[in-house]
Amino acid sequence: MPVDPKAAIVLLKELRALTADEHGAQRLAWSPTWLNARAWFQTKLAELPVEHHLDAAGNSWTTLKGKSEQALILGSHLDSVPNGGWLDGCLGVLAAYAVLRRIAEQYNGKPPITVRLVDWADEEGARFGRSLFGSSAFAGTHSIAQDRVRTDASGATLEAALAACGVNIDAIGNAAIERANAAAYLELHIEQGPVLERMGLPLAAVLGTKGVERHAITFHGQEAHSGSTPMNARHDALAAAAKLALEIRPIAMRHPDAVCTMGSVKTYPGIVTAVVGRCEATLDQRDLDADVLATMYREAQQKSQQFAEEEHCTVEWSRIWNIAPEPFHPQLIAFCEEAIAETAGHSHRMPSGPLHDAAEVSRAGIPTAMMFVQSLHGISHNKIEDTREDHLELAIAAFDKLASKTIEWIRTH
């Protein structure tokens, strides 16, 4: 029995009409619009023979009980960034719904294994800066002490926002109970980058999520008058930072899938008539290989010291945040490639630069795979985010095949 991709796309457009304005999607987690989106989704699930509940972290679970308690989990997230796109996250939820519906109909409500659909709470972290909130609670990697005091732009705390939605921050770790009997997790997501479009391919199997090293780098020089200080007598902190900003490009380009980004630079005193005495910069480095990530970090540190000395400055580093690479399950990656090849004729393997809930599920020891579908112009987190409808149909059909292969794998292992 085939899945119905066109019906899922109709629902995606219905959700867009319900929760977006002229600036884009507005399904900010813990907001009334997000809650409305979730309520709307429940009306679509009501006609299926399923059980629904929210866990202790606010994740939304829909369960189609099978002959075995071993469970395949399908999921993604309905929340969006402010002024976001119509596909980020919600494509995975609606594709999972289409697959769940097909399975329920094919097996008359009793598949060989249990199938669960999860809508993770606050994947984006757009309001409080805490990404992967619900999936990290599920995985046991939550950070209650730090999260309790997080505030949004208005000063409201994350703890209060959760309470308003019926979630007790002290109890979110209880979401780990949902890991019982989880045999595999699958997620479909838009690529959010330009790789597949440049290759002329609609779909890819995701190898895993890249690890991240994120640091604050401060160059210390000497403030001086821009008119009276000769060029060879300057201690220019910005000059040292500028050299590093250019050097991180060749550092990254020595490795096929690595990226390095200096995304923020602040200068002091920050006036046109003064040599910069202090320059604060941020560096984000990512790769799927932990050894590559460590090499890039070491090389960037060495170069920063070299450039500081060249410009008669000093430099200091402090870690902002880091996370280890998370490779996905080899057998499920292979199934994903097979499903894509059977549907679209040609498959491709690639790592994910952005973080995803799938990485947290994998970190909990649950076999995990992701599938990407091409993003037009590589744009996401923006109202112009888009994917060709024929590619969306291919993605949902391939995701359905991946689910079938995984169900058989779980059933026979």
- Write out pLDDT tens, residues 109-119: 999 999 999 99
Taking residues 142-155, report their average pLDDT: 94
Instruction: Tell me what the mean pLDDT of segment 153-167 comes to.
Output: 97
Q: What is the mean pLDDT of residues 329-334?
A: 98
For the segment 234-249, what is each residue's pLDDT rounded down to a tens digit? 999 999 999 999 999 9
Mean pLDDT within 342-370: 97
The angle subtended at Cα 371 by Cα 367 and Cα 377, nearest 5°, is 150
Q: If you ran DSSP here, which 8-state letter would residue 48 be given? A: S
Question: What does the DSSP assignment read for 115-131?
Answer: EEEEE-S-SS-TTTS-T
Give the mean pLDDT of 299-305: 98
Whether the bond into 32 is cis, omega within 30 of 0:
no
pLDDT for 412 equals 95
State how far the alpha carbon of 162 is from the alpha carbons of 12, 54, 151, 290, in Å: 26, 13, 12, 35
DSSP 177: G
Phi, psi of 239 (to 5 degrees): -60, -40
Q: What is the pLDDT of residue 413?
A: 87
Instruction: Give the model's pLDDT for residue 379.
Output: 96
| Helix, strand, coil shares, percent, the chain, to 5 | 40, 25, 35
β-partners of residue 349 are: 205
The answer to whether 286 touches 211, Cβ cutoff 8 Å, is yes
Query: Mean pLDDT, to the nearest integer, of 135-159?
Result: 95
Cβ(252)–Cβ(285) under 8 Å? yes
- Tell me which H or E stretch contains 373: strand 368-373
Pair 137, 59: CB distance under 8 Å: yes
Q: Which of 244, 193, 350, 362 is nearest to 287 (CA)?
A: 350
pLDDT per residue as tens digits for the range 3-19: 999 999 999 999 999 99
Model pTM score: 0.93
Q: Mean per-residue pLDDT for 157-176?
A: 98
Predicted local distance difference test score (pLDDT) of residue 113:
98
Compute the average pLDDT of residues 255-276: 97
pLDDT at position 32 is 97
Banded pLDDT at 304 (limits 50, 70, 90): very high
Work out the percent of the chain whose per-residue pLDDT is above 70: 100
What share of the chain has pLDDT > 90, as a percent?
A: 99
Tell whether the model's pLDDT for residue 183 goes beyond 80: yes
pLDDT at 1: 76
pLDDT band at 151 (very low <50, low <70, confident <90, very high): very high
